[in-house]
Structure 1
């Protein structure tokens, strides 16, 4: 054991896209601050941020039907879709700033233009999609969206999906060319390369085993070097826990009251990946369908063109799985270890409430390859089993907590920041839209944890994010300017050209 003790201004736990984003923002706002990163794996972006562990969708609510709920009067509530789109525009602006100021380069290595589409079948869902289209296209953020229920037009848009389709059931789709495919693994690695050049101390194969408050209000972390086994103690005035599914355990170890009563439910994801290049070349879009009754929001089926390592791929899924691990590299005891006296009643209530979800997950785990192929054939009628292999994606831990709206043991599908009242520590929990909204989420962390500095930082934040504090949905001219500027910086210009 080592007695080594070091002091720094900021400690970031986890080398994923969230820590990378927060570290990069802080280096712009407070370049003199000392930042230290601890990651238990051997390199950056290997868990949730890894390109094979997520769908790679630039989530802007262009195609995700679960962000536009149908109200009891039949109208469509687009407020959540607008909010998520606004957040993605913030990410685009920050990434553009980094490219324009030579913090990162070659944006085409992490973001590519790709049409986003929604596709539904059956009279009821076709009527819903038409109403959704009409509701969204009245908003500047969704201009350029097209709708069609004409099979001939759909065959132009999605030939692979329409080829061999014999059902007489109505089918419709929306298409918008300003969508993107984002390689969050590549982006994460770029950001950490930049941080390394800014003298940020990045420590791989280092596990944070415990943490405690010190007399002066700082946090002291017990950190284990996984190669040597030695233990070091590091202290900082501010700690950010961005460890993906592992964040909950560390939040519990912090002992802050805000973390009590929160539980987590792990859900794993599986995708079918196409191995036949001739099939891959027939599809060029992200096409999202509608979740089946009883299925959780993160199980919305979608057929995705992906760009990974400069190679075009095609994935379908996700199929839900279950593992008690909170990370792919986690422990089989993660779930049971997260049950504490402060959250046991919340966890039990969640279990009682979510019996249909449990049943759904068990059914998904038991699916054979041929059963999965049957689901794929609802998208691609002529899909052949020999062209597709199963790929295991990442683990996602959904937040469980007591809420006014949902009562005790409510399962939260989303991204959530939990921070101490004094702003000395913050943790990111949850899943989608996650990485797509990382910049907005990290700005929320700054507001909560550095309120005294925000006034002095505002001018710089507005330089990085010109729309900061302004709604693009309510400012069409500014929205048009920013969409054009970010498309140019990120080399997405062709998405602005008319079809």
Structure 2
């Protein structure tokens, strides 16, 4: 064991998109702060941020039906969709600033323009989609959205899905061209390359085994070198736990009151991937359907064009599953190890409430490849088994906590948990996650650095012109942001790169 002890200003745990975003923001706001990153794997962006471990959707609520809910009076509540869209515009502004400042280059390596569509079948679902379209199309954030229930128009939009379809069941879709495909793995690696050039100390293959409060209010981390087994002590004034599914156990070790009565429920995922160029060439969109009854929101079926390693491929899924691991590289004891005296009743309550979900996950785990192909054929009637392989996606740990809705409520979203004094914070949860990373990290900065915020605001507004402003109340700003980010990121029609 080494007795070496190192002090720094900021420690980031986990080399994923969240730590990359927070580190980049802080380096722009306070360049002289010393930042150290610990990542237990060999490179950045290998868990949840990796391009094969997530859907690669720039979540702007353009096509995701679970962000728009039908109320009891039959009207459609689009408030969550508005919030997510505004947060994604913040991300695009920050990425544009980085490109224009030459802090990262070649945006086409991580973001591509791609139409987003919602697709439904059945009379009731068509009625719902039309009402959703009417509620959204008048909103300036969703300008350009089209609706059609005409089979000929649908054939034009989604030929691979419509070819060979024999059912007379009504179908409808909405389409909006301003969607994106985002390679969050590539973006994460770009940001860490940038941070390295700014003298951020990035230590790969270093696992944080423990966190405890020091007598002076700072945080002391016990860090183990994965290869050599040597242990070092590192202290910092501020710690961010951005370890994906691994964040909850570290938050619990910190002992802060805000981390108590919180549990986690891991959900794994699989995608079907097609690399047959003849099939891939027939589809150019992200097409989201409706989740089945009992399925978790992140299991909404979707057929996606993806751009990975400068190649176009096609993914369908996700198929949900269950593993007690909190990370793909985690332990089979992660779930049981996360149960503590302060959250055991919260966890038990969640288990009692979510029997249908548990049953659904077990059914998904038991599916054969051919059964998965049958689900795929609901999207692509002519799909052939030999054209499709199965890839294992990332683990997602859904937050379980006590809320106004009751004890042991399963949360499907992204949450920041921080100490009252702002000295430590953790990122928990899943989708929309990476797409809203900039907004989430700005909220973290607001909570954890309130004394510095006023001095930092001019620089934040330089990076994100809409900071502190509701885009919905300033429609002229929406058009301005669409134009400027489209130009900087190569998303404008006249600037789309050839594939």
What's the TM-score once normalised by structure 1's chain length? 0.99
Q: Give the match's secondary structure for 1:341.
A: coil
Matches within 5 A, 1:369-388: 369-388=369-388
Measured against aligned partners, the alpha-carbon deviations of 1:125-151 in whole angstroms (never above 9, x if no partner) come to 000000001101111110001110000
Measured against aligned partners, the alpha-carbon deviations of 1:255-280 in whole angstroms (never above 9, x if no partner) come to 00000000000000100111311001
* Cross-structure match for 2:36: 36
Matches within 5 A, 1:72-471: 72-404=72-404, 406-471=405-470
Cα distance in 1 for partners of 2:453, 2:17 equals: 22
Q: Is the 8 A contact 1:294 1:357 kept in 2?
A: yes
Measured against aligned partners, the alpha-carbon deviations of 1:329-355 in whole angstroms (never above 9, x if no partner) come to 000000000000000000000000000
Q: Is the 8 A contact 1:241 1:247 kept in 2?
A: yes
Q: Is the 8 A contact 1:178 1:496 kept in 2?
A: no
Cα distance in 2 for partners of 1:227, 1:495 equals: 49
Q: Give the match's secondary structure for 1:467.
A: coil
Cα distance in 2 for partners of 1:138, 1:455 equals: 36
**Against the structure 1 CA distance between its residues 430 and 495, is the aligned structure 2 distance closer, same or farther, given a 3 Å change threshold?**
farther
Cα distance in 2 for partners of 1:75, 1:303 equals: 28
Q: Is the 8 A contact 1:323 1:332 kept in 2?
A: yes
Q: 1:496: how far off?
A: 9.6
* Cross-structure match for 2:472: 473
* Cross-structure match for 1:52: 52
Q: 1:495: how far off?
A: 8.0
Does 1:70 pair with 2:70?
yes
Cα distance in 1 for partners of 2:401, 2:283 equals: 40
> How many residues align structurally?
496
Q: Is the 8 A contact 1:64 1:288 kept in 2?
A: yes
Measured against aligned partners, the alpha-carbon deviations of 1:266-323 in whole angstroms (never above 9, x if no partner) come to 0001001113110011000000000011111000000000000000000000000110
Cα distance in 2 for partners of 1:184, 1:391 equals: 17
**Against the structure 1 CA distance between its residues 159 and 53, is the aligned structure 2 distance closer, same or farther, given a 3 Å change threshold?**
same
Q: 1:472: how far off?
A: 1.0
Measured against aligned partners, the alpha-carbon deviations of 1:149-198 in whole angstroms (never above 9, x if no partner) come to 00000000000000000100000000000000000000000000000000
Q: Is the 8 A contact 2:267 2:321 kept in 1?
A: yes
Measured against aligned partners, the alpha-carbon deviations of 1:182-231 in whole angstroms (never above 9, x if no partner) come to 00000000000000000000000000000111111000100001111111
Cα distance in 1 for partners of 2:83, 2:494 equals: 22
Runs of 5+ unmatched residues, structure 1: none
Does 1:484 pair with 2:459?
no
Cα distance in 2 for partners of 1:240, 1:431 equals: 17
Q: Give the match's secondary structure for 1:394.
A: coil
Cα distance in 2 for partners of 1:384, 1:491 equals: 35
Measured against aligned partners, the alpha-carbon deviations of 1:17-38 in whole angstroms (never above 9, x if no partner) come to 0000000000000000000000
CA RMSD, 1 decimal:
0.8
Cα distance in 2 for partners of 1:254, 1:199 equals: 27
What's the TM-score once normalised by structure 2's chain length? 0.99
Q: Is the 8 A contact 1:177 1:495 kept in 2?
A: no
Q: Is the 8 A contact 2:76 2:131 kept in 1?
A: yes
Q: Is the 8 A contact 2:487 2:495 kept in 1?
A: no
Cα distance in 1 for partners of 2:494, 2:271 equals: 27
